[in-house]
């Protein structure tokens, strides 16, 4: 499965969505001050009709930090209710290289 990484802080990121079969959104789960920015970007994707069947995996990074709480991440991103599409929320650590396996298994 080919992967393309896109920085969603850049304005052109949305042009890449037309060609995807899955999205992995990596979020710093300890930086709750920026959850609203992530939520805005996620809401943009969720509002696109052509993305309705595209699975979205939200990865909360730094799960090994006490400030990273999966329930808070779900709530702040508005993922506590059914969007009518496949959305998975997982916790990971890029430093310890854990959490990616279940996420990618779910995605495919």
Check the annotation: does 64 bind a ligand: yes
| β partners of residue 59 | 26, 90
Pairing of strands 23-28, 87-91: unpaired
Check the annotation: does 75 bind a ligand: no
Check the annotation: does 69 bind a ligand: no
Check the annotation: does 62 bind a ligand: yes
Check the annotation: does 38 bind a ligand: no
Burial 23-62, CB ≥16 within 10 A → b, else e: bbbbbbbbeeeebeebbebbeebbeeeebeeebbbbbbbb
Q: Which residues are annotated as part of the binding site for GTP?
A: 61-64, 95
Q: Which residues are annotated as part of the binding site?
A: 61-64, 95
């Amino acid at each position: 499965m080919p992967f393309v990484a896109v920085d969603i802080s850049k304005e052109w990121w949305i042009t890449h969505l037309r060609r995807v079969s899955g999205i992995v959104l990596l979020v710093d789960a300890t930086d709750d001050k920026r959850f609203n920015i992530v939520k805005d970007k996620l809401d943009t994707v969720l509002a696109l009709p052509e993305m309705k069947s595209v699975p979205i995996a939200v990865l909360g990074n730094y799960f090994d930090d006490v400030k990273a709480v999966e329930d808070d991440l779900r709530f702040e991103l508005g993922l506590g209710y059914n969007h009518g599409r496949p959305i998975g929320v997982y916790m990971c650590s890029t430093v310890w290289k854990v959490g990616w396996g279940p996420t990618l298994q779910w995605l495919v």
